[in-house]
Structure 1
Amino acid sequence: MWWNHGSPHTCQLPQTTKSTKHRTYEIMKSKSYGPLPPQPCILHLTESSNNFTDQSALLAFKSKISFGPNDTVFSAGNWSTTTNFCEWFGVSCSRRRQRVTALNLSYMGIRGTVSPHIGNLSFLISLDLTNNSFYGFLPHEISHLRRLRKLQLSNNLLEGSIPPNIHNCQKLRHFSLERNKLNGTIPSSLGNMSSLEFLNLRTNSLTGPYPLAIFNSSSLMAIYISDNHFSGTLPIDLCSSCPHLQQLYVSYNEFSDHCQIKGQIPMEIGSLKNLNTLLLNGNGLTGTIPSTIGGLESLNTLLLNGNSLTGTIPSTIGGLESLQRLYLGENKIEGFIPEQLCQIKNLGELSLSNNRISGYIPDCIGNLNLLKRLNLSSNQLSSSIPSNLWSIENLLFLDLSWNSLSGPLSPNLRKIDVIEYINLSHNQITGNVPSIIGSFESLRYLDLSKNSFQGDIPQSFGQLKGLDQLDLSNNNLSGEIPKSLGAIRYLKYLNLSFNKLSGEIPSSGPFANFTAESFIGNEALCGNPIFGVPPCTSPSSHGSRVKQILLIYVVPVIASLIIFAALVTMLRRDRQCNMHIPSLPITLCEVDHRMISYQELCCGTNNFCESNLLGTGGFGFVYKGILSDGTIVVVKVLNQQLEGAFRSFDAECKVLRSIRHRNLVKVISTCSNPEFRALVLQYMSNGSLERWLYSHNYCLNLVQRVSIMMDVALALEYLHNGRSESVVHCDLKHSNILLDEDLVAHVGDFGIAKILVENDTTQTQTIGTIGYIAPEYGSEGRVSTKCDIYSYGIILLEIFTRKKPTDKNFVGELNMRQWIASLPDRMKVVDDGLLNIEDGRDVTAMKTILSSILELGLRCSEELPDERLDIKDVVTQVNKIKLAILGNRKNGV
């Protein structure tokens, strides 16, 4: 069948009336094709080419694809030569010529390749294969379809490049290859397609300079090229080249900002009167927001977040009367919130977070009745929160955290039925916690931590039946914990730590799942010992008072005498353990912990048997043991033959006896004399972070990795700032970060830790682990809290790249930090295992989160100490990242 391989024009002879056939014959004769066969043969050939070519192309297409077991598309003889192909499922034909004009097999679960025979459907106007699993290359034969107006191949697995001759489809209006795996550059000839109106190439791996050529098509109404790997700058003449543009999506690419003119938002942007959607977020744009932006009267979505924009918010922004979504977060914008924002009556989402905006929150924002999301977090806002903010009847999400807001919280006495998320943490808000919050029936997340709230926790909080996270920590709250909180059946996270609460901790409902960390720092609480508090006693009777005296004074004395006698007896009789027991009396480090004898340690570790050995450290051996009460512990035994071992043990005792935090390994007891020294520590069932990073049997997801680094940051914040004397760990690394059964991280091994008494630095001998040691500590022995920040930054990079700083690829002058900083596409360094776990999540959100994590790691591991972040800033940044992840998970992203 020579017409399947020759010019497609030979397949386009129309099948029609006798006069038409005769005209076709005359045309062929007049063009001197040579001797022609009798006219009846020509008529037969014409009829065959009209039908057989399309049918053959469709059958060839079918031969390259497959369906799932539940498919019904090709059942009952469909797509079979026994029926007319114009009646096949998904096929549409022209009435007069009976030629295939449309093929629509979208959302059918098809897997296979796109056959090049598709190019033989020369009358095809529309091809839609959206949401299938087509893989392989996009055949260049598609460029033969000169009548094609719609090409829709989105959400497949296509690879390779865009056919360079696609511009031959001059009638193409709708062109979409979104969410595939295409690479290479966008053909410059695409700009010559004079009919093109809709171009969607987003979420691929397209590279090269920013495709300025596509803006040459004045007919374009929508451009979607977000989530690729383009570099370069925005076109200066964007507005004049595409006067009819309605939608422009160019977010999350790799724009360079070295050119201060082209790297900015064009000043003429306001002339695009038809523009309704503008997405420039997640790029490297600099400069200010042009005042002309107020001329975009049709604009309903404006996303400029995640850039490096400076200056102030122009007052002309009030002219965007149709605007519904405004995102300016994660920039360097300063100044005040203009009251002209309140003129945008249709505004539903407003985010100005992570900027340098100061001043007050305008009262008029309470008049934006359609507002659903308001995020002003991480700015420098002061004054009080406007009371009418709570009168926005459609408000779902409110985040004002990490500002300097003060004054009492005075929401209107209005029942808000829809609000789900409130975060007012890290401010200076005073007064009582308003009981009216208990009437917010849809509330699921409430964070009022790190303020100056006082008074009782409202009983009305028990009415928040849908609440799953409540954080009231680090305030001045007093009184008892309301028993009504036990009725909140879905409460998963509760933090009431570091207040002045008293009385009994409830044990019903969700309280059965909480731990001591939820209540730490409240000295007057009592209840179940699992909460780390003493049992509650009733002072109503004299008998209770007598029991109290006996428990506090008499019993400890008697118990001490009995224990002492037992120790003396055991030291004299060496019958139950085969090891030599030191003859000197056992002395304990000056710590207030339970007493554990050498005999108990010996028996609990089966005479320190090798089968109980968990590992070896720099100065000793680590064993797993079981105490007499069944408690599983870790026994860290000093190897006294090693130089510096005693100094390490004493340093660790000195540090551990004075610190206590949920993210530090808990010391249970110590045992020490000239011949034997050991630390008895909390057992971590999930081992070290090193095991979870580099074992093929484990893999941490994004939330788990960020949560672990949040735990480590909180531990460092406590060590650096939570005491009168700062503690520098000096050996922070993956093997010293241990995980409990809930994967909560605990920092351990303080053998070379330093306590800074007066100065914030000290000089010492360098001891540590190569790859994690700060430069100034390694070369000069200078110790400061910034040494731990450096180590933290390296671990942060390591946990998300799954590469050790001592990896064999880092040789000579190249270290892990330089490797990551040198790559323009930092997503290439991210652990493949993590990306596989998170596959299916929103690519845009993932890129933003992972980029901010890697950037934070680079900032923490700067060469010069003064250029590194303070631990408070690190905690702030990691907390923002964690909240962003949880917010995305909550929204189903």
Structure 2
Amino acid sequence: MPSQSLYLSLSHNMLIGPLPEEVGSLINLVEFYVENNLLSGDIPETISQCQALQYIYLQGNAFQGSIPSSLGTLKDLQEIDLSSNNLSGYIPNFLEDFPNLYYLNLSFNNFVGEVTKHGVFANKSAFDIQGNQKLCGGLSILHLLPCSKQSPKEKHKNMALVVILSVTSFLIFSIFILYFLKTHYLSKSKKKDLLSSPECVPSDPRVNISYSELANATDGFSEQWIISAGSSGSVYRARLQAKNDNNEKLVAVKVINLQDSEALRSSFVECEATKNLRHRNVIKIITLCLSTDSRGNESNAIVYEYMPNGSLDDWLHHKKDSKNLGFGRRLSIAIDMASALDYIHHHSGTPIIHCDIKASNILLDADMVACLGEFGLARFVEKNSGDSTQFRGTIGYACPEYGTGNMVSKYGDIYSYGILLLEMITGKRPTGDMFNDNLSLRDYVRRSMPYNVIDVLDERLLIEIEKHDASDEPHIKRTKLECASLMLEVGLLCSEEIPERRMRTRDIINELNGIREMFMQIT
């Protein structure tokens, strides 16, 4: 390319491999944008040969290594965005010496060490370093840990001591938990007739359901009553006799696989997370029962409200066309789920992060009102505000920052919700065969926006829209297409790579309600 080039933008493509060293040949380059590709490797030192460079945007790639020291020679830099990569090492001191730098984004990388308080780092609104778990110092408003002044030898000694104390504490804690479970919940297992008095923890104190009642209501947990089954356990449909009359009540009973320690843990998490939740769009747990079966085997069951219309996943991917979801119904479900997220994030007392928003965890009642369920991976914000996370959620729905060990956050749920919206309008799973490392559901939709939306619509929605193609109803077709396009736009905004750019729940609800008002004008 000619050395006279002043501006180069290759953003939002699927470019792979390293950034070529020949970028240094663009000696007069002022603005350089390659964000949101699949570029990897080190940032080349030769970029320092672009002495006129003022704006550099490399975010949303997979660059690794440290920030090249040669970058310190580019004294005219005004904006630098290296966020959402795999960069590491110390934040170089030369960044504080740039006289014109007023925007610096290093968030969601793996930088370590002390953050200075000088230059661009003296103005909190001018830089962003969140998502780097091993930084210290800096302005007090950042709430980072103070930097240690210990010598390397002392650090190694203290690290060894920390490891020993952590392992010891973990062992003691594990023994305590096992002892507590055995004595508090399972001490009655030695009795032959435990079914008559199991340990039950009802979410409603007026509810009293014994394990024997659950067994009788499912013919001894017969396979014919199974709604769904997985590694964590099976879910059964059960008819329970009401205590005060002759009416029967349908419930769903999840019997936990006690051989799976993670399933047992998640059942307690789910009960803890939902016991105080009261919202029409959040599934209600009726009771938790811990007991033994007739053979003396330990048992654990959660009783939920029964959702006769199954899950959203059933309707999107498994039901026959005769049980189609129209656009209006999908829009209502989207609003229901946005309301559920707004409630658990902001209005449920201690904020809760669900961590596993997906179609199979959205259940539909008799009136097709959507309820959010399956809180087994949920986290309480205040209790885990300092915890990092391993990969949480379901591949395809989970946000990219969880894959690099960042803390669980409301942004993660918003990302999953955005992918869910795209799935609802396209009818395609984010893990479908057509999606791989080179193409995601989000990319598939983004490439169609805003002029080729019709190419990505679910075929069933397309049939619904095309029937209005008659000359007397063209406005209905246009309006429905516009509504679908706006919903896809909300999905894209919610699933932005950078967490802070994602929509807030209240804004999502307002936007979807506006779409519903537009839709109601033609129905």
Query: TM-score range with shorter-chain normalisation?
Result: 0.5 to 0.7
1:764 aligned to which of 353, 366, 389: 389
Within 5 Å, which residues of 2 pair with 1:504-653?
A: 585-588=198-201, 592-629=205-242, 630-653=248-271
Unaligned 5+ residue runs, structure 2?
1-189, 243-247, 293-297
Letter in 2 for 1:870: R
In 2, distance between residues paired with 1:766 and 1:870? 23
- Does the CA contact (< 8 Å) of 2:359 and 2:420 recur in 1? yes
Mapped pair 1:699 → 2:324: yes
In 2, distance between residues paired with 1:781 and 1:637? 32
The structural deviation recorded for 1:668 is 1.5
In structure 1, the residue matched to 2:313 is: 690
The structural deviation recorded for 1:583 is 8.9
Label 1:751 to 1:743 Cα distance change in 2 as closer, same or farther (>3 A).
same
Unaligned 5+ residue runs, structure 1?
1-570, 575-580
The structural deviation recorded for 1:873 is 0.8
In 2, distance between residues paired with 1:762 and 1:716? 21
In 2, distance between residues paired with 1:872 and 1:780? 27
In structure 2, the residue matched to 1:75 is: none
Mapped pair 1:881 → 2:510: no
Within 5 Å, which residues of 2 pair with 1:149-548?
A: none
In structure 2, the residue matched to 1:235 is: none
Within 5 Å, which residues of 2 pair with 1:98-117?
A: none
In structure 2, the residue matched to 1:836 is: 463
- Does the CA contact (< 8 Å) of 1:762 and 1:784 recur in 2? no
1:662 aligned to which of 280, 283, 292: 280
The structural deviation recorded for 1:647 is 1.2
Q: Deviations over 1:246-279 (max 9, x none)?
A: xxxxxxxxxxxxxxxxxxxxxxxxxxxxxxxxxx
Mapped pair 1:725 → 2:338: no
The structural deviation recorded for 1:854 is 0.6
Letter in 2 for 1:721: H
2:430 aligned to which of 805, 808, 818: 805
In structure 1, the residue matched to 2:448 is: 823
2:301 aligned to which of 674, 678, 687: 678
Say which SS state the counterpart of residue 199 (structure 2) adopts. coil
- Does the CA contact (< 8 Å) of 2:310 and 2:365 recur in 1? yes
Letter in 1 for 2:447: S
Q: Which has the higher contact order (CA 8 A, sep 6+)?
A: 2
The structural deviation recorded for 1:593 is 4.9
In structure 2, the residue matched to 1:103 is: none
RMSD: 2.4
- Does the CA contact (< 8 Å) of 1:827 and 1:850 recur in 2? no
Letter in 2 for 1:848: E
Say which SS state the counterpart of residue 714 (structure 1) adopts. helix
Letter in 2 for 1:586: E
- Does the CA contact (< 8 Å) of 1:668 and 1:680 recur in 2? yes
Label 1:761 to 1:738 Cα distance change in 2 as closer, same or farther (>3 A).
farther
Q: Deviations over 1:845-888 (max 9, x none)?
A: 12221111110000001111111011111111111111111122
Within 5 Å, which residues of 2 pair with 1:718-757?
A: 718-757=343-382
Say which SS state the counterpart of residue 380 (structure 2) adopts. strand
In 2, distance between residues paired with 1:823 and 1:673? 54
In structure 2, the residue matched to 1:866 is: 500
Say which SS state the counterpart of residue 286 (structure 2) adopts. strand
The structural deviation recorded for 1:670 is 1.6
The structural deviation recorded for 1:587 is 3.9
Letter in 2 for 1:649: S
Mapped pair 1:790 → 2:415: yes
Letter in 1 for 2:320: H
In 1, distance between residues paired with 2:488 and 2:368? 22
Q: Deviations over 1:217-263 (max 9, x none)?
A: xxxxxxxxxxxxxxxxxxxxxxxxxxxxxxxxxxxxxxxxxxxxxxx
The structural deviation recorded for 1:586 is 1.8
- Does the CA contact (< 8 Å) of 1:790 and 1:862 recur in 2? yes
- Does the CA contact (< 8 Å) of 1:632 and 1:683 recur in 2? yes
- Does the CA contact (< 8 Å) of 1:760 and 1:785 recur in 2? no
- Does the CA contact (< 8 Å) of 1:663 and 1:712 recur in 2? yes
Identity %: 39
Query: When the two structures are superposed, what TM-score results if normalisation uses the length of structure 1?
Result: 0.34
- Does the CA contact (< 8 Å) of 1:663 and 1:715 recur in 2? yes
- When you count helix as a share of all residues, which structure comes out higher? 2
- Does the CA contact (< 8 Å) of 1:764 and 1:781 recur in 2? yes
Q: Deviations over 1:571-593 (max 9, x none)?
A: 9786xxxxxx5698424266535
Say which SS state the counterpart of residue 686 (structure 1) adopts. coil
Letter in 2 for 1:683: Y
In 2, distance between residues paired with 1:799 and 1:583? 46
The structural deviation recorded for 1:792 is 0.6
The structural deviation recorded for 1:760 is 6.1
- Does the CA contact (< 8 Å) of 1:756 and 1:762 recur in 2? no
The structural deviation recorded for 1:692 is 0.7
Q: Which has the larger radius of gyration?
A: 1
Say which SS state the counterpart of residue 416 (structure 2) adopts. helix
Q: Deviations over 1:625-646 (max 9, x none)?
A: 0112210000011101013122
- Does the CA contact (< 8 Å) of 1:596 and 1:670 recur in 2? no
Letter in 2 for 1:830: L
Label 1:649 to 1:608 Cα distance change in 2 as closer, same or farther (>3 A).
same
The structural deviation recorded for 1:617 is 3.7
The structural deviation recorded for 1:781 is 4.5
Q: Which moved more, 1:665-674 or 1:869-878?
A: 665-674
Label 1:585 to 1:622 Cα distance change in 2 as closer, same or farther (>3 A).
closer
In 2, distance between residues paired with 1:709 and 1:637? 29
Label 1:853 to 1:583 Cα distance change in 2 as closer, same or farther (>3 A).
same
Mapped pair 1:708 → 2:338: no
- Does the CA contact (< 8 Å) of 2:200 and 2:210 recur in 1? no
Counting matched residue pairs gives 315
Q: Deviations over 1:422-444 (max 9, x none)?
A: xxxxxxxxxxxxxxxxxxxxxxx
Q: Deviations over 1:608-662 (max 9, x none)?
A: 0000011124521101101122100000111010131221011011011111100
In 2, distance between residues paired with 1:666 and 1:855? 32
- Does the CA contact (< 8 Å) of 1:761 and 1:783 recur in 2? no
In 2, distance between residues paired with 1:642 and 1:885? 47
Letter in 1 for 2:482: T
- Does the CA contact (< 8 Å) of 1:717 and 1:872 recur in 2? yes
Label 1:612 to 1:585 Cα distance change in 2 as closer, same or farther (>3 A).
closer
Query: When the two structures are superposed, what TM-score results if normalisation uses the length of structure 2?
Result: 0.57
Label 1:625 to 1:759 Cα distance change in 2 as closer, same or farther (>3 A).
closer
Say which SS state the counterpart of residue 622 (structure 1) adopts. strand
Say which SS state the counterpart of residue 644 (structure 1) adopts. helix
Letter in 1 for 2:399: A
The structural deviation recorded for 1:759 is 7.4
